[in-house]
Amino acid sequence: MSETSDSAILIAQIKDKLGIGDDKVYAVMGEFAEPEDLVEAGRRIRAMGYTKIDAMSPFPVHGIDEAIGVPYSKIGWIAVCGALAGITTAQVLIYYVGKIDYPLIIGGKPLFDFTYSIPPTFELAVLFTAITTFLCTWGLSGLPRLYHPSMNYRSAHRASDDRFLLIVEADDPKFDAQKTAQDMRSVGANDVEVVEG
């Protein structure tokens, strides 16, 4: 008896932490049949003053980032940092081990030289960049997550098939469930729904 109430409390706590719950509104969502319509509608919704806009599509739609105001990804700069970390680690490691900690002449070569330190440096730069980029992509995308409120939308599964979804999230300062739903219909969205978390 007490077990069920414990787990119910736990689920409630988790839901609260993730910002979801039966009573919470996540967003207004609508769907389009054509990618061009999605881009056009996104542009118009943005022109109405909404800022928390998102889109879902089965394949990359050109121009959608610009239309709904998604900023240019920071992942490039993160990759540069990963590469620099890799280069530094490799150079310091090779220098310290070969020249300071355990100097040993091998094949008549200098204790440290850029010529032979470049290949491991390159490899380490690639490795560090790959790991950093991978982890940061997950982090920036909010992964891993087992649940996303947009899945409550009736046609959510069609975003991986034949529909293009437009979303205006509830934390948008201009958001008002009734008004936003009306706006979404006015830009041509079908099956507009107020989706709850």
Partner 1 sequence: MSNSSHGSHQGAAAEPASYQLESARWSKGRNALVLAALISIVACIAGYIQDPDRFFRSYLIAFCYTCAIGLAAFFFVMVQFLSGSAWSVTMRRIMENIMITLPVGAILFLPLAFGLNHIYSWTNTTLINSSEVLRAKSGYLTDKFFIARTYGYFLLWSVWIFAIYRQSVKADSQRSIWQMRIASRWSAPGLFLVVAIGTLAAYDWLMTVEPSWYSTIFGLYYLADGAVGFFAVMILICLGFRKAGVLEKQINIEHYHDLGKWLFAMTCFYTYMGFSQFLLIWYANLPDETQFYRHRMPGAWLYISLSLPFIRFFIPFFTLISRPAKRNLTILGVMSVWSLVVVYLDFYWVVMPVFYPNGPQLHWLDLATLGATLSVTGLVFWSRFRKHAMVPTGDLRLEQSLHFENA
Minimum distance from CB of 184 to partner 1 (Å)?
25
**Beta strand ranges found along the chain (DSSP E):** 25-32, 53-56, 164-169, 190-196
Q: Which of 119, 131, 135, 186 binds partner 1 (CB under 8 A)?
A: 119
User: Interior CA angle at 100 toward 97 and 102, to 5°?
Assistant: 60
Q: Does 173 help bind partner 1 (rule: CB under 8 A)?
A: no
Q: Does 108 help bind partner 1 (rule: CB under 8 A)?
A: yes
Minimum distance from CB of 108 to partner 1 (Å)?
7
Q: Which of 71, 107, 142, 173 binds partner 1 (CB under 8 A)?
A: 107
Quote the CA–CA distance of 131 and 169 in Å, as a whole number: 31
Q: Which of 24, 74, 109, 179 binds partner 1 (CB under 8 A)?
A: 109
Q: Which of 25, 87, 97, 118 binds partner 1 (CB under 8 A)?
A: 118
From residue 27 to residue 66, the character string flagging contacts with partner 1 as x (rule: CB under 8 A) and all else as - is: ---------------------------------x-xx---
Rounded to the nearest angstrom, the gap between the alpha carbon of residue 127 and the centroid of all alpha carbons in its chain is: 21
Q: How many residues bind partner 1 (CB under 8 A)?
A: 10
Per DSSP, 71 falls in state: P
Quote the CA–CA distance of 55 and 38 in Å, as a whole number: 8
Minimum distance from CB of 119 to partner 1 (Å)?
7
| Cross-strand pairs, 191 | none
Q: Is 86:126 a contact under the CB 8 Å cutoff?
A: yes
